[in-house]
Structure 1
Amino acid sequence: MAFTLPRYQEPDFSALGFAPDAQFIPAPRDGAAPEQYHATTIFPEYFKVGGRWLLAKESRMDCVAVYEDGAIAVREFRRLKQGDLVAVGRAEDGSQGIYVHTAPFARPGKAEAEAFSFRQGRSRETAYSKDYDSLYELLEHEKEHGFVTWVLGPACSFDKDSREAFSKLVAGGYVHALLAGNALATHDLEAAYLGTALGQDVYTQESRPGGHYNHIDTINRVRQYGSIPAFIKGEGIDNGILYSCVKQGVPFVLAGSIRDDGPLPEVYADVYEAQNAMREQVKRSTTVISMATVLHSIATGNMTPAYRVLEDGSIRPLYFYCVDVSEFAVNKLRDRGSLAVKTMVTNVQDFVVNVAKGLNL
């Protein structure tokens, strides 16, 4: 069955009765919002201005809405400038001119869930066969019509088969951007350069003599070249996740952390520069798949809305998958407000291999 996007259902504003215009108050200083500011969510949000309901086209949770140039911009607190007109009001039902649309893609006629039934959560006992089939259909659609961003933790680079499978996904056009940290890139490049990840053979998982030097030797070698692409070219690297991204022109964002070794030249040392670079890719995304990284998953989830406004003005859902062997990891993402996420509790290396096989790569 061909994949079809659910249709967006605009709010029935007439059902809200009389609603006043939203109130906007100037920001008192750079980086600070006025009291009673309205904090944005993952859902489509409308603000009534001059009797018209305006949709915030680019959104993310825990930010503020700013009225400028006849439109609503969603802005992080740190980006606020003194005098910016910030929406205020805590009611989200339209009574203060702000309406949060929490069911934009509800399917008409779908049966109500029973009040009591078994296995409604997502855990290691969940059967994911239908999820895989749905994901294959979605990725085939997104290859031609969307923008798929993958968020990878270092575990994705520890296995020969998973590295090869992800490389096939990149080459097949199913990866449009990669978000990761210094570790994922380092271990992937180490595997391509020395055949190990943290000193262990990526196929046998046996430790090599002196292998604890391998990751920092790799970082040091890349730094001598000055960039990852230069290292790949200079050392004749011909495999791996980063190699495939460079070869196919897929952008990657490597966000640094306080524990990083090296780091690699492309790693962002400034956390807000990293956040800006990540969000530039998220703003283009129609599907996000996050694997084996709690902090990067939550960071990406916090800047990812549940919808995307396309260039033609149509509105579609933004799909978010989180895959981890730990129930804690996937549940923590849901607990942080990313309610639209689809979670899969499974080994990420097996997951990548299954996805590549399911797409006949």
Structure 2
Amino acid sequence: MTVSRTVELEGHIIDSGTMGECFGIVMDMGGEFEVEEFEVGRHKHAETYCRMRVLADTEETLRTIVHELNQQGATVADPRDATLEAAPEDQVVPVDFYSTTNHPTYVRVEGRWVEVEDIEMDCALVVEPSGEGGDDPRVFTKVLNAVEEGDLVVTGETGIRVEPPERPRNGSGSFGFMQGGVSSERPSASLIEEIADEMREVRKGEGTVLVVCGPAIVHSGGRDALAELVGAGYVDALSAGNGFAVHDLERDLYGTSLGVDTESLEHPRKGHKHHIYTISEIVRVGGIAEAVEAGIVDEGVMYECVRNDVPYVLAGSIRDDGPLPDTITDAIEAQNAIREQAHEADLVLMLSTLLHSVAVGNCLPSTTKTVCVDINPATVTQLLDRGSAQAIGLVTDIGTFIPMLRDELLA
């Protein structure tokens, strides 16, 4: 081993398994480690400190190992500021730029640790130095397509500190009623009560509940219950795709969803054309808000959003019919709109949509409480695997979950 770097770990690194995970990373990636200092916390709230030297055959291997350790909360033991390099062109970052996690992150700038604003995963870190007027330096994330020529981009791992959420000693996850991860079961009254309590707390603190919706909410019979929650003020923002809005509006105009009567489950004549008829009627008047004002739409989730000034983002996709005038068809514009919603959210409910759950999850910091509900286990596990480790996954019927949540909140 010819090159080395010293890193430090601090916190409840034994309880959370962080220390063992870091040891494993070094060995799995072909390196070695030497523990130089180890101080174990000796009571419940005491933190543990570990200083270790990481060795590798090449500088490239060492950088890769240190980067992975940094993602787990290890900090390079170096008093120097972070390394900055100017972006050479718009949308072009330096070769060794630091790619972010969604965990709280701090960057050492001008001799002090500065918290990164609006942290999210898979972004570059851009530094704005202190101004002549004495303004403090700022560090914020930028997606690659937003990087501008001359932006001071953080490179390497020096001067970067990541703080992954630690698992509490009692083993509970983001909420007391679950351990985190995935639970495959019918939602019990106790689970619903815990989620409802979180929503009440957010509302009491004037925070924001963001609901991410898939069309299955309408197909499975959860639409009316969700509309009631919007109308009662328990939903502060909504993120969905063209399909959800179309089927919600179709249910109002024709009593069907994808051409199927959601009450009788019968297929009315020409029912398969109802969704395209719905799009045509909304386009004819200019949009969803115009349809509500004209009295064409008088119930449902989108109706309640318009009537209660609940902002919504409808992000389009290549497979959309129409789409509706309200749907954002530019992918970058849609990402930015979703990003604004995610940064404002205090609690996120992801309801039966893989595409939009992952899209919103990518923009969320790991400190935002997130509940993902879907009948398909792949939706929940993919969200967790993608990096939204703070999410609680519940594999269950959305048509059962939302009415139970409604009953708990509005009883």
TM-score of the alignment, normalized to the shorter chain, above 0.5: yes
Identity %: 36
What corresponds to 2:5 in structure 1? none
Aligned to 1:98, which of 160, 170, 195? 160
Quickly say closer, same or farther: Cα 1:111–1:270, change in 2 above 3 A.
closer
Distance in 2, matches of 1:55 and 1:250, equals: 31
Aligned to 1:148, which of 199, 203, 209? 209
Query: What is the number of residues matched between the two proteins?
Result: 329
Q: Decide whether the 8 Å contact of 2:240 with 2:313 is kept in 1.
A: yes
> What SS does the aligned partner of 1:137 have?
helix
Distance in 1, matches of 2:119 and 2:303, equals: 32
Distance in 1, matches of 2:261 and 2:323, equals: 22
**Match of 1:100, as an amino acid?**
V
Instruction: Point out the structure with max Rg over C-alpha.
Output: 2
What corresponds to 1:71 in structure 2? 138
> Larger RCO: Structure 1 or Structure 2 (Cα < 8 Å, ≥ 6 residues apart)?
1
Per the TM alignment, residue 129 of structure 1 is displaced from its structure 2 partner at its CA by 5.0
Aligned to 2:342, which of 282, 307, 311? 282
Paired residues for 1:200-239 under 5 Å:
200-239=260-299
Distance in 2, matches of 1:43 and 1:102, equals: 5
Post-superposition CA distance 1:280-331 (Å, at most 9, x none): 1111111111111111111110011123xxxxxxxxxx11111100111100
Quickly say closer, same or farther: Cα 1:339–1:126, change in 2 above 3 A.
farther
Post-superposition CA distance 1:120-165 (Å, at most 9, x none): 96242587554322211100111122101100000111244x2221
**Match of 1:338, as an amino acid?**
S
What corresponds to 1:135 in structure 2? 195
Asked if residue 292 in structure 1 is aligned to residue 352 in structure 2, the reply is yes
What corresponds to 1:332 in structure 2? 382
TM norm structure 1: 0.85
Distance in 1, matches of 2:343 and 2:330, equals: 20
> What SS does the aligned partner of 1:289 have?
strand
Distance in 1, matches of 2:272 and 2:180, equals: 44
What corresponds to 2:120 in structure 1? 60
Q: Decide whether the 8 Å contact of 2:89 with 2:148 is kept in 1.
A: yes
Paired residues for 1:128-207 under 5 Å:
129-145=189-205, 146-160=207-221, 162-207=222-267
Per the TM alignment, residue 82 of structure 1 is displaced from its structure 2 partner at its CA by 1.0
Distance in 1, matches of 2:78 and 2:155, equals: 18
Distance in 1, matches of 2:209 and 2:338, equals: 13
Aligned to 1:86, which of 153, 156, 160? 153
Q: Which protein is richer in strand relative to its size? A: 2
Distance in 1, matches of 2:114 and 2:180, equals: 36
Aligned to 1:347, which of 397, 405, 408? 397
Distance in 1, matches of 2:48 and 2:277, equals: 61
Quickly say closer, same or farther: Cα 1:63–1:12, change in 2 above 3 A.
farther
Q: Decide whether the 8 Å contact of 1:22 with 1:48 is kept in 2.
A: yes
Distance in 2, matches of 1:287 and 1:352, equals: 16
Q: Decide whether the 8 Å contact of 1:159 with 1:203 is kept in 2.
A: no
TM norm structure 2: 0.75
What corresponds to 1:271 in structure 2? 331
Q: Decide whether the 8 Å contact of 1:158 with 1:188 is kept in 2.
A: no
Q: Decide whether the 8 Å contact of 2:380 with 2:395 is kept in 1.
A: yes
Quickly say closer, same or farther: Cα 1:12–1:287, change in 2 above 3 A.
farther
> What SS does the aligned partner of 1:283 have?
helix
Stretches of structure 1 that go unaligned for 5 or more consecutive residues are 1-8, 114-118, 308-317
Per the TM alignment, residue 35 of structure 1 is displaced from its structure 2 partner at its CA by 1.5
Asked if residue 260 in structure 1 is aligned to residue 320 in structure 2, the reply is yes
**Match of 1:39, as an amino acid?**
S
Aligned to 1:301, which of 340, 353, 361? 361
**Match of 1:99, as an amino acid?**
R
Distance in 1, matches of 2:286 and 2:220, equals: 27
What corresponds to 1:248 in structure 2? 308
